[in-house]
A and B are shown apart, each in its own frame.
Chain A
Amino acid sequence: MATTLTLPKLEMSMSEGTLAEWKVEDGATVKEGDVIYVLETNKTARDIEAPASGTLVHKAASGETYDVGTEIGEIV
């Protein structure tokens, strides 16, 4: 079953975040717990870990700011 990756709301005050960098290439295999991308909020940069194992599909470009809830990728 595919796991959809949406831009998470990590704090009460968060409404958007910047996908600073994909740490894993599009189409590469990831293990649950691997750091897959860096998310920048107004507070800090966070490493976001893969919530599941599988093949990572990028659906959003890095370096851009997205609203919380935007679909940015998938693990299939």
Chain B
Amino acid sequence: MSQGNLGIEPEVLKAIYGQMARIRAVDKAIQAGLSAGKFMFTYWPMTGQECIPATISQLTTERDYMVTTYRGIHDQVAKGVDLYGMFAEALGREDGVNKGKGGSPHISDPKSGSMVTTAIVGAGAPIANGLAISAKERGEDRVTIVNFGDGATSIGAVHEAMNLAGAWQLPVIFMCQNNQWGEYTRIPTYTNSPNFFGRAEALGFKGVQLDGNDPAAFYKGMKEVVDHVRAGKGPVFVEAITYRIGPHAGVGDNYNATKEELAAGKERAPLEKTRALLLEAGISTEEELTALEAAAKAEVEDAIARALESKPTPPSETIVDVFADPDSVPQRGHFPVREAEGELSGDTESISMAIAVRDAQHIAMTNNKEVFILGEDVGDPQGGVFGTNKGLQTEFGDRRVRPTPIAETAIIGAAIGSSIAGMKPIAEIMFVDFLGVCLDQIANHAAKQRYMSGSATHAPLTIRMQLGGGMGGFGAQHSQSLEAWLTHTPGIKVAYPSNPVDAKGMLLSAIDDPDPVVMLESMMLLYTLKGDVPKGEYKIPLGVAKVRRPGKDLTLISYGYMLNHCLAAAEEVAKDGIDVEVIDLRSLVPIDYHRVLDSVKKTGRALVVHAAVEFCGLGAEICSTINEELWGKLKAPAMRFGADYAPMAYSNAIEFSQVPTPPSIAARIRAAVKS
């Protein structure tokens, strides 16, 4: 049988069927095991969608990157993830490809090119862009394929990612496996769109609709797509039409579908059709196919049997893989001593924090060509809304300083993906208040990638966020102090410098750090506070607090711009003979409890002050630790002082009183030393 009649090389069709048979064997074994109660885990069946990854596997290699979703076992199998490691992972065992810490919805296996698997619908698309950026910038011919279902086309992350990929002409394929169902809800209940591929054209790049159940047609269409993307001609959106025979989760048939729909879906199912075609066309004999299917079944049975023998991942692994160094993890009773920076020497210059941040980025970009900046308006002449990148685009070019669409999820996702590939992105989010529009990428992806993957991959990106409050005029949505949102999420480091010297040195540490770091930059400090900043390169380590003012009566603990209010308050009460020791935390995660507790042991009193809302703020955590650790040695319980529980007001009269001020801090100190 010639290719002319089939539209595909017989050997390729056979290979596609081989992958489909492996996928089916895995699917059947999982469904049988779940039905028998042999094992228990949540399964999102992809029965009926086998042809899509099986075909892609013939057009890509392990060098090509894949991002997929929880309904992605078929994608993993065809990509070449080892079945033993995959089953052990699904069972939560220590031999799992991700040490049993991620499970089947979070497979990350860089060896096969399966980089990220997300259980958040649509969230993989922004990350795929980042992987594609790395390939493009390194001049590699890899393509990145991000799989998602039709349901994901409704979520903002996919739209943001498509727009950015179009704008930057990234080598990425948006593989929409249109199985007609968004979880339990059908088309057209959730969308009135006549199709999905048309959205690509609207965003200025190529979109195609292919029959994802016909291997010959799909192979032909996908070959053109992969060639196009590999050749650097920009992204492509593929709408692969298929049908999900199973339910959203569980086993068996899709019980939301009508009998007729299900029968029609089964009629079109690719595996049986492909098998018949191989026989009909004389490419394979019945014996060959039976042997191939038996081999797939044996491979799967062997993998499951061995996986069931692997030990459940033990609790001793709990804090391993949160960060590169377990000592960065806050732990009760364990307060590691981290070495402080040495005396900073050499020439200094009196500059603002904005210039210090700019200089740090200049040094990092000069040292390492894989450091790049992305964010809204970061290009010249303005160099960012706060001018912290001024001149950098002019010097390093527009591929290393990338102004982005107004799309924070796309920004953070691109930074995550490129950092997973080993680049060193610095993402600027101009106000911490915008955390809400990129928190999923930060909290569910950047913070968790190392853990969920058992350190198979990690996302060492740097995020810079400016924040306000107490300055007047920015209102409730541009003045918040949201550091506790970040510190409450395991896996993300948070730096919050109080001065230009620390800002420069901590940013250089953050960029080199093996973990994701958010550096918070106070708007109040960026231009108003100058410091004698050492010229050239130096680092301030993360997780090392610093005594700003020695004292003996009370330890005042703060960070960021509020630290400067604390110093002013300390001088104020010094007039009354109260000698306050002021500690600048500098890093919130990792936190330096060693130096904090050492100081409070000496003074016997502690007051934690922050601009963030007092209720459930970081002050509560720090006070609780001091009270628990030093109970019996304290002259008074540790206390906290933060903003009133209210949105930041526009009225200056309210705003300037709702956050702590030097006089109100001084009043608290006086009250504390009396007790």
Contact = CB atoms under 8 A, between A and B. Distances in A.
Interface of A: 3-12, 32, 43-44, 46-49, 51-52, 68-69, 71
B34 interface: yes
Contacts of A12: 42, 249
A46 B255 contact: yes
Contacts of B42: 11-12
B35 A48 contact: yes
A5 B158 CA distance: 42
A10 B32 contact: no
11 contacts: A4-B38, A8-B37, A10-B34, A10-B249, A10-B250, A11-B249, A12-B42, A43-B255, A44-B255, A69-B37, A69-B40
B36 A6 contact: yes
A9 B40 contact: yes
Interface string B26-39: 00000111111110
A59 B85 CA distance: 34
Interface in B36-53: 36-38, 40, 42
Nearest to A9: B40
B252 interface: yes
Interface string B235-252: 000000000000001111
The listed residue with most A CB atoms (<10 A of its CB), out of B36, B42, B252, B253, is B36
Nearest to B256: A44
Contact of A47 (B36, B40, B252): B252
B40 A68 contact: yes
Contacts of B40: 8-9, 68-69
A10 B42 CA distance: 7
A46 B250 CA distance: 10
Given A8-B40, A11-B42, A43-B255, A51 B33 contact: yes
A51 B252 contact: no
A48 B33 CA distance: 11
Interface in B102-133: none
Contacts of B34: 8-10
Tell me what chain A mostly uses at the interface: helix, strand, loop, or mixed.
Answer: loop
Identify the 7 closest CB pairs spanning chains A and B, nearest first: A6-B37, A51-B32, A10-B250, A51-B36, A44-B255, A9-B40, A8-B37
Nearest to B42: A12
A8 B35 contact: yes
A4 B37 CA distance: 8
B249, B250, B255 interface centre (most CB from chain A within 10 Å): B250
B38 A51 contact: yes
A49 B32 CA distance: 7
Contacts of A51: 32-33, 35-36, 38
A8 B38 CA distance: 8
B36 A46 contact: no
Interface in B516-549: none
Interface in B463-503: none
A68 B34 CA distance: 11
Contacts of A46: 250-252, 255
A71 B32 CA distance: 15
A46 B33 CA distance: 15
A34 B429 CA distance: 57
Contact of B251 (A3, A5, A7, A8): A8
A4 B36 CA distance: 7
B657 to A, nearest CB: 48
A7 B249 contact: no
A52 B31 CA distance: 12
Contacts of B38: 3-4, 6, 51
Contacts of A6: 36-38
A5 B249 CA distance: 20
